[in-house]
Structures are given as structure tokens and as C-alpha cells.
């Protein structure tokens, strides 16, 4: 049981390692994996599931953002959910008409993170790129699970889960000098779902 994350490095190992320094890339990936498992546990429960997470650079993200959202510039994270969801008091449930009952783990969808954008967003806040990528991964995963921030109630539910996940990570990984809060805590931040 639990959530399995498959990472797709579309920027090259050296570029990823450079972005997450001084942390080792494998350590950063392990933290991201832990964050997504906790996100799924808090938002959906603990069913066996899978998430595909891709690291891309500005040109690919700009193309994806244009193709799926009609925007001409890169964004920090896009999510491509595979299921229809209903939310009940902040918890995700597969919609009754989704019709999915896989024999194995439930593939939730794809999260795509622009590492170039993460580097730019981390610098002014004084936190690490790893922390920024973790926040983007949590946020993108919540979009996979049907969360959105189109209205204030939805945003508050999403923000609450982000804060719970971060609090859990802070307890489990005390070796990390955590600084940021929810992505919603930042003025002007907006992310979008690719659907």
C-alpha cells in the first residue's frame, strides 16, 4: 500500500543536482517522495496509488502551458489528473461516475514541475530550491486529487492540507532547515491544473 512516485528527469541529472545543491539529488527526491505520500494520505487516505512526476525546463513548460492552458509563458507546476473527484470536508473521493476500479495501484496522473521557475521562485524567499519543488509537488498532487483554488473555500481547504503535509515533513525530517509555508502564503502566486 502507499503511494509510488515515478520521477522523469527531462532536464538532465547535472542540472537537477545543481538546482538542489547543497542537498544531494537522491536526498531531494526522497523528500519529494515522502511529501507526496503524506499528501495522498491526508487528502485521500492510504490506498495504493501512483503518481508520475516530471522535471522540465522553461521551454518545455512554456509549450505545455500553451498547449493545455493557452498561456504563452512557463508556469511553475501543471497537473494532469486522470480521474474525476468529489471533495467532502477537504477529503478526496473518486466520483461515483469515474468508473475506476483498477486491480492494482490507482494511477492518479502527472505532475510537471518547471525547475527553472522553481529556482527563480526560491531565491527571493530565501528558501532552498528543494523546498520550492516540494511545495510545487504537494500542490500539483492536490490538483490530481480534485482540489482547486477557484474560490476561497477551495483555496482554504487546499492551503490547510498543504500546511498539514509541511508540518508532518518538519517533524519527520528535522535535518532540513524548512522555511516556507503554503504556496498560498505568497503574494501573487498562482498555479494551475492542466485540465
Among the listed residues 44, 46, 33, the one whose alpha carbon sits nearest the alpha carbon of residue 6: 33
Mean pLDDT of the chain: 88
DSSP, collapsed to helix, strand or coil, labels residue 193 as: strand
* β-bridge mates for residue 51, sequence order: 5, 109
Helix or strand holding residue 9 (H, E):
strand 3-9
pLDDT (tens digit per residue) in 58-108: 999 999 999 999 999 999 999 999 998 988 877 888 887 666 666 779 999
Give backbone dihedrals phi and psi of 78, rounded to 5 degrees, phi first.
-125, 145
Query: What's the confidence (pLDDT) of residue 43?
Result: 93
Give the Cα-Cα-Cα angle 118, 169, 190 (nearest 5 degrees).
Answer: 35
CA-CA distances (angstroms) from residue 172 to 28, 47, 91, 167, 180?
14, 21, 23, 9, 16
Question: What confidence category does residue 186 fall into, taking pLDDT thresholds of 50, 70 and 90?
Answer: low
Query: Cα dihedral sign for 67, 191, 136, 50?
Result: negative
Query: Does the predicted model carry a pTM greater than 0.85?
Result: yes
pLDDT (tens digit per residue) in 19-37: 999 999 999 999 999 999 9
Question: What confidence category does residue 192 fall into, taking pLDDT thresholds of 50, 70 and 90?
Answer: very low
- The Cα–Cα gap between 111 and 23 comes to 22
Average pLDDT, stretch 46-60? 93
Domains of the chain: 3-184 (3.40.390.30)
Q: Is it the case that residue 111 has pLDDT exceeding 90?
A: yes
Q: Is the Cβ–Cβ distance between 82 and 35 less than 8 Å?
A: no
The C-alpha cell that represents 110 in the structure block: 502527472
Q: Is it the case that residue 112 has pLDDT exceeding 60?
A: yes
Question: What is the crossing angle of helices 115-125 and 13-20, to 10°?
Answer: 10
Q: Is it the case that residue 168 has pLDDT exceeding 80?
A: yes
Amino acid at each position: 500500500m502507499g503511494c509510488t512516485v515515478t520521477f522523469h528527469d527531462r532536464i538532465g541529472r547535472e542540472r537537477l543536482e545543481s538546482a538542489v545543491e547543497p542537498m544531494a539529488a537522491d536526498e531531494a527526491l526522497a523528500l519529494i517522495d515522502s511529501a507526496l505520500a503524506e499528501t495522498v494520505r491526508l487528502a485521500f487516505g492510504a490506498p495504493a496509488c501512483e503518481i508520475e512526476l516530471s522535471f522540465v525546463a522553461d521551454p518545455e513548460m512554456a509549450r505545455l502551458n500553451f498547449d493545455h492552458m493557452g498561456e504563452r509563458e512557463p508556469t511553475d507546476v501543471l497537473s494532469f489528473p486522470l480521474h474525476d473527484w468529489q471533495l467532502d470536508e477537504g477529503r478526496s473521493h473518486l466520483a461515483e461516475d469515474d468508473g475506476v476500479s483498477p486491480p492494482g495501484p490507482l494511477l492518479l496522473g502527472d505532475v510537471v514541475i518547471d525547475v527553472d521557475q522553481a529556482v527563480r521562485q526560491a531565491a527571493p524567499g530565501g528558501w532552498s530550491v528543494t523546498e520550492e519543488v516540494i511545495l510545487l509537488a504537494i500542490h500539483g498532487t492536490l490538483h490530481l486529487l480534485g482540489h482547486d483554488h477557484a474560490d476561497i473555500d477551495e483555496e482554504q481547504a487546499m492551503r490547510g492540507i498543504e500546511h498539514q503535509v509541511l508540518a508532518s515533513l518538519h517533524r519527520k525530517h528535522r535535518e532540513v532547515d524548512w522555511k516556507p509555508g503554503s504556496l498560498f502564503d505568497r503574494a501573487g502566486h498562482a498555479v494551475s491544473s492542466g485540465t
